[in-house]
Amino acid sequence: MPHESKVLHIEYHERMDYSQRYERISRPFRTARGERTLSMLDKALVYAFAAAFVILLITLAALGDGRLLRAFVVPAATFALVTVLRIAVNRPRPYEACEIAPLIKKDTRGKSMPSRHMASSVVIACTFLWISPAIGAVLLVGCACIAFTRIVGGVHYPSDIAAATTIALVCACIGFLL
């Protein structure tokens, strides 16, 4: 078998393996109610993180808190970095590359790696950890929920989530600890 043919054969089996694993983890949600619940949870978490971030910035501005600039710049820079990386990598999403029906309806092509939702939620949670550790800790639980919904929803691979989390943590450490 020529090299290219072997590579295509391996990729096909990896996609099939992922499809089978995805089927297993998504099975409990493959009801109309489960699908609706997962999708609503995903949207609610995204909106909750965005709202919390806006409220934080408004509060810091109203209090004249000197941390405002950094609280805005670190997440904004992280978002920009992840956006550029997504375009550069342009990894197909699981529902494009594998034979799966995603539970979260999405028609985006590519730009799966790294997950921008995950990176944004992690850097927002870290911003809160820097300013209000108790709220930050609660938001970290929310990050775990976002990771869960994005993977089980079929719109990201676990490696997309891991890459986004790593990037956001590195950006937060550089931005808030140095």
Distance, CA of 110 to CA of 146 (rounded, Å): 19
The contacts of residue 75 (CB under 8 Å, 6+ apart) are 53, 120, 123, 124, 127
Q: What is the pLDDT of residue 178?
A: 86
Write the pLDDT tens digit of every residue in 109-139. 999 999 999 999 999 999 999 999 999 999 9
Q: Which residues of the chain have pLDDT under 70?
A: 1-15
Q: What is the pLDDT of residue 16?
A: 72
Q: What is the pLDDT of residue 6?
A: 46
**pTM, 2 dp:** 0.90
Q: What is the pLDDT of residue 1?
A: 46
- DSSP secondary structure string for all residues of 5-43: HHHHHHHHHHHHHHHHHHHHHHGGG-SHHHHHHHHHHHH
Q: Which residue has the tokens 């710049």?
A: 73
